[in-house]
A and B are shown apart, each in its own frame.
Chain A
C-alpha cells in the first residue's frame, strides 16, 4: 500500500504548462540538444517533472514505516497501547501520584473499603497501608522484572538461535540440544528451588547493585529464552538460503556481518512479537512465584505478593485480591493485544488488518 498523490493536471492553475513540442515529434526525432548541453537529462529531471511523467508520486517508505502505519490502524492494539502506557506512567510516577509511601501506615483507616476519603481508592489492608499505593509500586516491580526478562531472554535466545541456524552442523546440534535440555526442566520446580537457594536482597556487582527483584528476573530469563531461540533458528535456516545472503557472501561480507546486518533485520518481526509474549509470561510467572512466596520478599510490593497477602482475608476484604488481580489481568491482556497488533503489522504478507 503506497500513498499516492496526483500532481495537478497539466494546464490547470498550479499544474505544469503544456508543452506540445515533445508530442509533435516522433520518438527519436526531437531536435538535437545544442553542443555542450548534457545529453543525459535524467539527473536534471526534478521530482515534479518525474511525477508528471509517470502521473504518480510514490512516497518512499521503509518496512518500518509500513509496519508503523499498519499498527496505528490496529484499533485493539492501539487501545491496549494507550492503556498500558497509562498504567506504566502511573507506576513510573507512583511517588507523585500516590498519597502515601508504600509502607506507610494510616492508623485511622485499617481494613478500609475502597473509598475516596483519605484517597484510599483501593482500600487499605489490616495494617492500614494504602493499597492503591502498594499496587502502583507493585506494578513498578513487576514491570521491571518483565522488561528485564524480555530483553535478556530475547538477546540470549536470538543469539543462540541465530548462530545455530546460520552455522548449522555440530554447532546447531549442540545449541539446540542445550535448548531442549532447558525446555525439559520442570519450570516451577526449578524456579522454586532456584528462588529459595539463590537467597534474597540486592545483587551487588561492586560498581552498581540491582534490587532483589532482579534475582527472580535472572532465573526467569534463563528459562524463557528457549522459545525465541527456536523461532530465530527456524527463520535463519530459511533466510540462509536466500539469494541476497549469497550475494552478501559473494561481495565479501563476513559471517558476523551477514548475521547481524542482513539476516537479523529480516527476522525482527517474529522476534519482537515473541518478546511481547515473553513480557506477558514473565509478569504472570513472577506473580505466581511471589504468590507462592518465593519471588519478591517484603516489604517491596509485587502484584503477586499483594494477592498472596490478601488471600487470607479474601472473604471479608475482597479489595485486597481484586485490585492487584485486575491490574495483572489488564497489563497482561494489553501486552498480548499489542503483540497481536505487532504480529499483524510486521507481517508484510498480511494486508488486511483484523480487529
Chain B
C-alpha cells in the first residue's frame, strides 16, 4: 500500500448552536491514497462536506470547532497549522471545486483574473504574461473553446457548464496533490454533468491528484469513485471498494440508499425510501444512530444500546468495513445497481 496523501484520524467537528452542540462529524477516520478517487456519499447533513472543509479551516469558527483528531497531509497535521500556513496549502497542494459554479465565481472579475489570482497567491512574482499563458492553457485543458477570448470574459458570459469548467481550471491551476470536489455536478443539468465528469477525469490525469468526491448521487459514485465511504450522522457506516459496495453492501443504510433509487429495468410503481428522518445531531439516538430507521434492527436491544464499531467484513471482494452489529445477516445482499440486479428479499 502506498503512503496515503491525506490521512484523517478520529476527526470530530462540533457546532455550538442555541439548541445545543451539533456533532456534525464525530470520530471520522479515513485515508486517501495517491491517484485514487474516494467517494463520500450520504444524506444532507451527514457531515460529508464539513469533514473536508474543516481540515482546510473553511468552517466558520465560532460556531464551528474542531474538537479532536488529526489530518496528516504531506507529513504535517493540517489541524495544527497556523492560519497562514494553512492558506499556503489551500488552492496550492489541496484545491476545492465547489458545488455551485453560478455563485462561486466573483461576478465583477474576469475569469482570467480569477484564474491568475490562484496562481499569484501561491507563486507571487509570476509575470502577467506567464500567468496569461498558463491560464489559457488551463482553460483549454478543461475544454473551453477559444480560451484566449474566454480568458478576458466575465462569469456572466459563461454558461453553467462553462463556469464549472473554469472552476476546475482554477482548482488545478497549481497542480494540487489532492482535489476536493464538493458535489461538483449537483447544480448542473444531466447532459452537462457527463461533460463535467469527463473534465474532472482529465483534470485528474493532468495533475495525478487524488480526489475526494463528495456527493449524494450514487450514480456519480459508481461512475467515478475507486473507493466509497458511506456517511451517516457524522460517522462512517460503510467503507469499501466501489465494486464491493455496490455488489455486496453490508450496511442496512447503504442498502436503503440504493433501494431508494429508481431503476429502469423493472417496472416499479413505488420506490422504497428509508423510513423516518435523519437523526438530530444534537440529540443522537443511543447505540447505532441508524437503528430507529433500520429494517434489520427491528427493536433489537443491542442496536439500541451498543454503538457498533466500524469492523472488517469478509465479503470475499477486498477490504470492506461496516458499522453494523448484524452485517453478517446481510450476506448475499446486493444492490440493484450491481449487475445482475436482484436485491429482493433483503428489505422487509
Chain A interface (Cβ < 8 Å from any Cβ of B) = 42-43, 45, 47, 50, 58, 60, 62-63, 242-244, 246-254, 257, 261-262, 265-266
B145 and A45 contacting across the interface, CB-CB below 8 Å? yes
In the assembled complex, the Cα of A33 lies from the Cα of B315 at a distance in Å of 49
B147 and A43 contacting across the interface, CB-CB below 8 Å? yes
B147 and A250 contacting across the interface, CB-CB below 8 Å? no
A43 and B92 contacting across the interface, CB-CB below 8 Å? no
B120-136 vs A: 1/0 string, CB under 8 Å? 01100000000000000
A252 and B121 contacting across the interface, CB-CB below 8 Å? yes
Nearest chain A CB to B37's CB is how many angstroms away? 19
Chain B interface (Cβ < 8 Å from any Cβ of A) = 56, 58, 87-92, 95-96, 98, 100, 103-110, 117-118, 121-122, 140, 145-147, 149, 152-154, 157, 167, 170-171, 173
A60, A246, A266: which contacts B58 (Cβ < 8 A)? A246
In the assembled complex, the Cα of A207 lies from the Cα of B153 at a distance in Å of 45
A251 and B58 contacting across the interface, CB-CB below 8 Å? no
Nearest chain A CB to B175's CB is how many angstroms away? 13
In the assembled complex, the Cα of A253 lies from the Cα of B116 at a distance in Å of 11
Q: Which residue of A lies closest to B103 (CB)?
A: A243
> Which residues of chain A are within 8 angstroms of B122 by Cβ–Cβ distance?
252
Most A CB within 10 A of own CB, among B92, B121, B170: B121
Known contacts A42-B146, A45-B146, A63-B108: A251-B170 contact under CB 8 Å: yes
Nearest chain A CB to B163's CB is how many angstroms away? 11
Most A CB within 10 A of own CB, among B107, B108, B157: B108
> Which residues of chain B are within 8 angstroms of A251 by Cβ–Cβ distance?
90-91, 95-96, 117-118, 121, 170-171, 173
B89, B104, B149, B152: which contacts A247 (Cβ < 8 A)? B104
A266 and B118 contacting across the interface, CB-CB below 8 Å? no
> Which residues of chain B are within 8 angstroms of A261 by Cβ–Cβ distance?
109, 117
A266 and B98 contacting across the interface, CB-CB below 8 Å? no
B56, B152, B157: which contacts A250 (Cβ < 8 A)? B56
In the assembled complex, the Cα of A63 lies from the Cα of B117 at a distance in Å of 19
Q: Which residue of A lies closest to B156 (CB)?
A: A63
Nearest chain A CB to B158's CB is how many angstroms away? 11
Q: Which residue of B lies closest to A168 (CB)?
A: B60
A43 and B121 contacting across the interface, CB-CB below 8 Å? no
B88, B147, B154: which contacts A60 (Cβ < 8 A)? B154
A250 and B90 contacting across the interface, CB-CB below 8 Å? yes
In the assembled complex, the Cα of A56 lies from the Cα of B265 at a distance in Å of 43
Q: Can you give 30 A-B contacts (C-beta < 8 A)?
A: A42-B145, A43-B145, A45-B145, A45-B146, A47-B149, A60-B153, A60-B154, A62-B108, A62-B154, A63-B108, A246-B104, A247-B105, A251-B91, A251-B96, A251-B170, A251-B171, A252-B87, A252-B88, A252-B89, A252-B121, A253-B87, A253-B91, A253-B117, A253-B121, A254-B87, A254-B121, A261-B109, A265-B106, A265-B109, A266-B108
In the assembled complex, the Cα of A266 lies from the Cα of B114 at a distance in Å of 14
A250 and B96 contacting across the interface, CB-CB below 8 Å? yes
In the assembled complex, the Cα of A45 lies from the Cα of B90 at a distance in Å of 36
> Which residues of chain A are within 8 angstroms of B173 by Cβ–Cβ distance?
251
> Which residues of chain A are within 8 angstroms of B109 by Cβ–Cβ distance?
261-262, 265
B152 and A60 contacting across the interface, CB-CB below 8 Å? yes
In the assembled complex, the Cα of A63 lies from the Cα of B87 at a distance in Å of 30
In the assembled complex, the Cα of A247 lies from the Cα of B108 at a distance in Å of 15
Nearest chain B CB to A250's CB is how many angstroms away? 4
Identify 6 new A-B residue pairs, CB closer than 8 A, beyond the known A60-B153, A252-B118. A60-B152, A244-B107, A246-B58, A247-B167, A251-B170, A266-B108
Nearest chain B CB to A27's CB is how many angstroms away? 14
In the assembled complex, the Cα of A75 lies from the Cα of B348 at a distance in Å of 73
B87 and A244 contacting across the interface, CB-CB below 8 Å? no
In the assembled complex, the Cα of A203 lies from the Cα of B88 at a distance in Å of 46
> Which residues of chain B are within 8 angstroms of A253 by Cβ–Cβ distance?
87, 91, 117-118, 121
Nearest chain B CB to A67's CB is how many angstroms away? 11
Q: Which residue of A lies closest to B145 (CB)?
A: A42
In the assembled complex, the Cα of A247 lies from the Cα of B96 at a distance in Å of 8
Q: Which residue of B lies closest to A169 (CB)?
A: B62
In the assembled complex, the Cα of A152 lies from the Cα of B88 at a distance in Å of 35
Q: Which residue of A lies closest to B86 (CB)?
A: A252
Known contacts A43-B147, A58-B157: A250-B91 contact under CB 8 Å: yes
A249 and B98 contacting across the interface, CB-CB below 8 Å? no
Q: Which residue of B lies closest to A262 (CB)?
A: B106
Q: Which residue of A lies closest to B173 (CB)?
A: A251
In the assembled complex, the Cα of A261 lies from the Cα of B140 at a distance in Å of 25
In the assembled complex, the Cα of A63 lies from the Cα of B118 at a distance in Å of 22
Nearest chain B CB to A70's CB is how many angstroms away? 16
Q: Considering the complex of A and B, which 4 residue pairs feature the smallest CB-CB distances, nearest first?
A: A42-B145, A251-B91, A252-B91, A243-B103
A249 and B58 contacting across the interface, CB-CB below 8 Å? yes
> Which residues of chain B are within 8 angstroms of A249 by Cβ–Cβ distance?
58, 90
In the assembled complex, the Cα of A249 lies from the Cα of B171 at a distance in Å of 12
In the assembled complex, the Cα of A63 lies from the Cα of B92 at a distance in Å of 30
